[in-house]
Amino acid sequence: MASGILYVVATPIGNPEDLSARAKSILREVDLIACEDTRRTGRLLAAIGVRTPMLSYFEHNEQRRAAELVERLKRGASVALVSDAGTPIVSDPGFRLVRAAIDAGIAVTAVPGPSAVAAAVSISGLPSNRFTFEGFLPPKSAARTRALKALHTEARTMVFFEAARRLGATLREMAAAFGESRRAVVLRELTKVHEEIIRGTLGDLASRFAAQPALGEITIIVEGLVEGAAQATTGPDSEGAEVTIEKLLEAGMGLKEASAIVARLTNRSRREVYQEALRGTRKGKEPETD
**Beta-carbon contacts of residue 107 (< 8 Å; ≥ 6 apart):** 3, 5, 6
CATH architecture, domain 117-222: 2-Layer Sandwich (3.30)
| DSSP at 86 | B
Sorting pLDDT into bands at 50, 70 and 90, what band is 270? Answer: confident
Within 10 A of 96 (CB to CB), how many other CB atoms are there?
18
Compute the distance between CA of residue 152 and CA of residue 187 in angstroms, rounded to an integer: 22
Query: Tens digit of pLDDT for each residue in 112-131?
Result: 999 999 999 999 999 999 99
Compute the distance between CA of residue 273 and CA of residue 281 in angstroms, rounded to an integer: 12
pLDDT at 240: 46
Query: Tens digit of pLDDT for each residue in 44-95?
Result: 999 999 999 999 999 889 889 999 999 999 999 999 999 999 999 998 889 9
* Segment (H or E) for 109: strand 107-111
Query: Tens digit of pLDDT for each residue in 13-49?
Result: 999 999 999 999 999 999 999 999 999 999 999 999 9
CATH architecture, domain 5-114: 3-Layer(aba) Sandwich (3.40)
Indicate if the alpha-carbon torsion angle 77, 83, 85, 87 is positive or negative. negative
Within 10 A of 180 (CB to CB), how many other CB atoms are there?
22
- Domain ranges in the chain? 5-114, 117-222, 230-281
Within 10 A of 206 (CB to CB), how many other CB atoms are there?
22
Task: Look at strands 218-222 and 157-162 and give their pairing.
Answer: antiparallel
Exposed, middle or buried, 17 (CB in 10 Å: 0-12/13-18/19+)? exposed
Contact 173, 195 (CB under 8 A): no
pLDDT surpasses 90 at 277: no
Query: Tens digit of pLDDT for each residue in 155-172?
Result: 999 999 999 999 999 999
Q: How far is CA 200 from CA 218, 240, 257, 267, in A?
A: 16, 26, 17, 14
